């Protein structure tokens, strides 16, 4: 896949999956715009000094003004990849409205605002948008014990499909991936006895994102692609 001279925004780009995506994009020739909130994120990001990476300190991506400022600074935007989000487990009976809204803000609102800003920048030139849902967003029963998270990610899936239909005539293709548990250091620490070999590797998930966001993807839109590995 050829991303030479193409500019890509990657939210959540300093995390485990985000770092794999940025690394693959660099190899494909892209220039990566990576927003971050906390200085510690930037300091531990291994690719922070790479010539094809621009780290951008920003406010919360659930803040409309901050998102508008982020995208206004990106010239010739080709793709926008939305990995930023958050996870929390909690039974419904123990979930407060504040807990619910935190999941909605971190997962759905961030994706919605970034999609909107990306569409504005891509209008007239075309481009690609990739969101990140989750397996429970497609298989709702798996969301037991984490209903707020599941609902917020299901909203991301619905947004993806609706937006894909809305902007296809502008040559903007919108898709999402739906990961199951991924093989990350944090997940291994949280689930030390799980079958880690069955989990999807972040590099393989990144490869799926890279195709969906690439110029070589000419026909896939409105898809929420399962990336489950063998789990």
CB environment 2-20: b (16+ within 10 A), e (fewer):
ebeebbbbbbbbbbbbbbb
Q: What are φ and ψ of residue 47, in 5° steps?
A: -100, 15
Query: Can you identify the CATH homologous superfamily of domain 7-227?
Result: NAD(P)-binding Rossmann-like Domain (3.40.50.720)
CB neighbours of 208 closer than 8 A, spacing ≥ 6?
A: 177, 225, 227
Q: What is the mean pLDDT of residues 128-149?
A: 98
pLDDT band at 35 (very low <50, low <70, confident <90, very high): very high
Q: Tens of pLDDT along 190-230?
A: 999 999 999 999 999 999 999 999 999 999 999 999 999 99
Q: Tens of pLDDT along 156-166?
A: 999 999 999 99
pLDDT band at 104 (very low <50, low <70, confident <90, very high): very high
In this structure, the strands spanning 53-57 and 200-201 are unpaired
Q: Give the mean pLDDT of the chain.
A: 96
Angle at CA of residue 66, ends 60 and 69, nearest 5°:
150
Q: Where are the domains of the chain?
A: 7-227
Q: Residue for token digits 């849902």?
A: 133
Q: What pLDDT shows up at residue 58?
A: 82
Q: What pLDDT shows up at residue 157?
A: 98
Q: What is the mean pLDDT of residues 116-135?
A: 98
Q: Tens of pLDDT along 51-99?
A: 999 999 987 999 999 999 999 999 999 999 999 999 999 999 999 999 9
pLDDT exceeds 90 at position 13: yes
Please answer whether residues 175 and 212 qualify as being in contact, where contact means their C-beta atoms are separated by less than 8 angstroms: yes
Q: Burial-class residue 49 by CB neighbours within 10 Å (0-12, 13-18, 19+).
A: exposed
Q: Residue for token digits 């209008």?
A: 123
Enter the pTM of the model: 0.97
Please answer whether residues 199 and 187 qualify as being in contact, where contact means their C-beta atoms are separated by less than 8 angstroms: yes
Please answer whether residues 35 and 70 qualify as being in contact, where contact means their C-beta atoms are separated by less than 8 angstroms: yes
pLDDT band at 16 (very low <50, low <70, confident <90, very high): very high
pLDDT exceeds 90 at position 36: yes
Please answer whether residues 146 and 89 qualify as being in contact, where contact means their C-beta atoms are separated by less than 8 angstroms: yes
Q: Tens of pLDDT along 168-188?
A: 999 999 999 999 999 999 999
Report the distance separating Cα 207 and Cα 169, nearest Å.
26
Sheet hosting strand 31-36, strand order edge to edge = 53-57, 31-36, 7-11, 77-82, 127-132, 172-179, 224-227
């Amino acid at each position: 896949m050829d991303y030479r001279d193409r500019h890509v925004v990657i939210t959540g780009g300093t995390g485990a999956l985000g770092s794999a995506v940025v690394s693959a994009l660099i190899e494909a020739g892209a220039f990566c715009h990576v927003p971050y909130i906390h200085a510690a994120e930037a300091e531990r990001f291994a690719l922070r000094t790479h010539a094809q990476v621009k780290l951008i300190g920003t406010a919360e991506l659930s803040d409309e003004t901050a998102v508008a400022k982020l995208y206004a600074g990106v010239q010739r935007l080709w793709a926008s990849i939305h990995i930023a989000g958050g996870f929390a487990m909690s039974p419904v009976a123990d979930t407060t409205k504040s807990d619910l809204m935190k999941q909605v803000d971190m997962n759905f609102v961030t994706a919605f605002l970034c999609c909107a800003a990306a569409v504005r920048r891509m209008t007239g030139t075309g481009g690609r948008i990739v969101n990140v849902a989750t397996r429970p967003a497609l298989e709702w029963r798996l969301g037991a014990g984490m209903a707020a998270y599941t609902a917020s990610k299901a909203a991301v899936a619905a947004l993806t499909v609706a937006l894909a239909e809305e902007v296809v005539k502008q040559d903007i293709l919108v898709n999402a991936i739906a990961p199951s548990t991924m093989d990350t250091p944090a997940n291994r620490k949280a689930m030390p006895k799980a079958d880690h070999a069955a989990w999807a590797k972040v590099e393989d998930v990144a490869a799926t994102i890279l195709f969906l966001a690439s110029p070589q993807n000419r026909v896939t839109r409105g898809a929420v692609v399962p990336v489950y590995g063998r789990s």
